[in-house]
Amino acid sequence: MSFNTALTRKLGIAVPIIQGGMQLVAYAELASAVSNAGGLGILSALTQSTPDDLRKEIRKCQSMTNKPFGVNLTLLPSLNPPDYAAYARVITEEGVKIVETAGHNPGPIIAQLKKANIIILHKCTTIRQAKSAIKLGVDFLSIDGFECAGHVGEHDLTNFILLGRARQELKVPFIASGGFAEGRGLAAALALGAEGINMGTRFLCTVEAPIHQKIKEAIVHAQETDTTLVMRRWRNTSRYFANTVTEAVLRIEKESSSGEFSEVAPFVNGQRGRQVFLDGDINHGVWMVGQAVGLIQDIPTCEELVRRVEQESLLTIEGIHKLYHDRPLQTRL
C-alpha cells in the first residue's frame, strides 16, 4: 500500500504529511529532514530577519535536500509590518514551488505568488475564511482545528466538526491541522475528507528540531491538559504551553481594568520565546504547542517519525477494511 492523494500528487511527496511552519523552529535543518523523509518540510520566512536572510536559508535547504519543500509566510497585524512583498519576491526568485500562507489580508501576496505559478496552501480556522481564500485562487486549504498550537481563532471549533464541514462545503482540497501526531490521526483525517495532515508540535519534538533538549523533554512529559489559551480579551486567542508566564498573562486579562494590550506585551514578547528554545527554561517566556503534546512519548528523528506515522496509518486503514471482509462494501449500502 502507498498513498495517492491530491496532496501527494500535486506536491510530489510520498507521504501526505506537512511540517508546520513554526516561528523560530522551521529552519533548513528541520525542513530538509522532513522532506528527505517523504513529507513536506516548511521554512518559516519571518524567522529570518530580512528577505536576504530568507534567501540564504532557502539556498541552504536546497543544498540539504533535492525533494520538494515549502516556505510559510504569515501576515500578522503590526504597526511596523515586514516587507511581505520582498519576502515573496525572494521566494519566487529562488524557485520555491510551494508556499503556505496565513494571516490577515493575504490577497496581494497570494496574487504575487500565483503569478509565478507557486502552489498555495492557506491556513484557515473557519469555513467562512476558507471560502474567502478559495476566491483568491489557493490550491489547498489547511483547516486548523481548535486543538492546534498558536492562533486558534475565536470560534473554538474542533477538527472533528470543522473537517466535516469542510468536506460538505469546500470545492478545494484541504489538509487537516491541529491535534495530529500519530498514524491513526492521519487515517482519521483521510476518512473525514482531508488529503493529508499538518503536524507542528510533533515535529517540534524531533532530533532535528533546532531547540533545546530540555524543551523536547518537557513536551514528552507533558499531558494534553498542559496548554492554555491567552489573549482572548484582545481577540487574538493563542494556545501556549502552560507556565508561569501564561499564568501572569491570564491574571492580567482577568483583573486589569484598563484592557490595554500593552500590559501583557512584555510577557508575550517574541524574544522571550526565542530564549526558551535557546536556553531550555520552560518558564522564561511563552511558547506555542498544541494539545497533541499529550500524544508525544519520544524524540525520534524525522525519518523515524514519518515512517512510523505512514506505517501506522496504513495498518489502521487496512485493519478497518478487514472489519468488513465478509462481503463487498457496495452490497451492504
| Cell (9 digits) for 48 | 529570518
**What is the model's pLDDT at position 232?**
94
Q: Give φ, ψ of 70 to 5 degrees.
A: -125, 180
CB 119 within 8 A of CB 10: yes
How distant, in Å, are the alpha carbons of 6, 101, 193, 226, 324 from that of 188? 16, 25, 9, 24, 17
Please give the full DSSP string across 243-292, using - where no structure is assigned: SHHHHHHHHHHHH-SS--GGGTTTTS-HHHHHHHHHH--TTSS-----GG
**What is the model's pLDDT at position 332?**
46
**What is the model's pLDDT at position 25?**
97
**What is the model's pLDDT at position 333?**
46
In Å, the largest CA–CA distance within the chain is: 67
Give the pairing type, strands 98-103 and 227-230. Answer: unpaired
259-278 as b/e, with b when 16 or more CB fall inside 10 Å? eeeeebeebbeeebbbbbbe
Q: Give φ, ψ of 53 to 5 degrees.
A: -65, -40
Rounded to two decimals, the pTM is 0.94
**Domains observed in the chain:** 6-212+300-322 (3.20.20.70), 223-288 (no CATH)
Torsion sign over Cα 285, 150, 49, 205: positive
Q: Which amino acid belongs to residue 50?
A: T
**What is the model's pLDDT at position 193?**
97
Residue 144 CB contacts under 8 Å (≥ 6 apart), including other chains = 123, 124, 125, 152, 153, 177, 178, 198
CA–CA gap between residue 106 and residue 144 (Å, rounded): 17
Q: What is the mean pLDDT of each run of 10 residues along the chain (333 residues)?
A: 92 98 96 98 97 98 98 88 96 98 94 98 96 97 96 93 97 97 98 98 98 98 98 94 97 90 91 95 97 98 98 94 68 48
